[in-house]
Chains A and B, each alone.
Chain A
C-alpha cells in the first residue's frame, strides 16, 4: 500500500519504463546496492590512491603537484624500502606455511576424530579471535616478557639461568602473525575436509593404498580448495599487518603496513604511501588470482 502511494507520484510512462527495465534486469534491486557501494567506497578509493601514487611531491612531504612521475615506485627499489617489502613478503609467506603445517593437522583432527565435539572444538578455535587483537597481543607481550610467565616458569624449573629475550625480534613477529591467523586457516580446511566424499577414500583403500598414500593422492588434492581459501585468508592480511610488528616487534621490525602508516601519517607523503599501498594491492590481487586458479572454484566456496 505504501509502495503504491510512493509509486503513484511518479508519472505514468516513467513508471512503465522503470517496470520494463526492471523486468529485463530482475537482479538489479538485489545486487544493485552493493555494486554501487563497492564502486563508491572500495574501488573509487583504491583508484584515488592509484592516482596519487603517480603524483610528484614538493618539498619533503609538502604539497602535491599533478605531474606524472614514477619516482615513488623507483624509490621502492632502492634502499630500505625494498628490503621492507621483501621482508613483508617473506613473513607473510612464512606465516602461511606455518599456519598450513599446524592448521591442516588440526583441522584433520577435528574433522576426523572430533565426533560430537566438532562444533564445540570449532568454536574454541574461533572465539579467541572475537576478542580484540590488541588485548590479545598485549597479553602475549606480557606473558612473553622478561618477567612473564614463560620466563619465570623456565627459570624456576632451572632450565635457563637468565630470562630469554623472546620479544621484540622478527621471530616474535612471526609468532604473533601465526597466532593471529591460525583460525583462518583451520576453518576453510576443516570445511573442505568435512565435505569430502567418504566413498572416494573407501575406494582408494579397496585399491590397496596405504594411509599415507591415501592422504597424498586423495585427501590432499580434494582439499586443495580449502588450502587455497586459507591462503587467501592468511597470506593476504599478513602482508598488510601493522599492529603485530608494532606491538611485538618493539617497533624495530618494520613491515609494509608500518611503512604505509609512516608515509601517510608521520611523514605525510601521500604519494609515497600510496605507491606502497598500490604495490601491496597488486601483490594481493596476484595471490588471489593464483589461489583461485590453483584452488579452483572450490576455493571461492570455502571462504567461510
Chain B
C-alpha cells in the first residue's frame, strides 16, 4: 500500500483515528455482506476480533477478498475504500497487538457491559486484513 498520495494520507489518518470501519465479505450465495466492526491498525494490517460463529468467519474462510471502508460524510464525500485479503488466525496476533486493540476500545467494551476478559472470551477469533488497493475521493 502506498500512502504517499493525498488520498493515501487521508486514508492513513482514518486508519489511525476512526473507531469503526465497514467490513464487507461475500457469502456463499455471492451476496455482499457489509457490517461495521471495531479494528486496530498497526501500520501493516487491520486487526478485527470476531465471535467464532459469526458469518464473517465462515465467509472469509471461503472467500478472503473483502472490502473495508469508513463512513463517508453526509453528502457522500470523504470516501475511503480499501480492498484487502482477510484471514482468521489460529493463534493470537501477539500480546502487544491485543493490548493495543483493547486499549483503543476500553470505553467501548465497558459500554457493552463487558469486561476485558469476557470480551476476549467472546470475540476470540482474530482476523487480519492485508490491504491491497485504495480507492476514494
Tell me whether A and B are bound partners: no
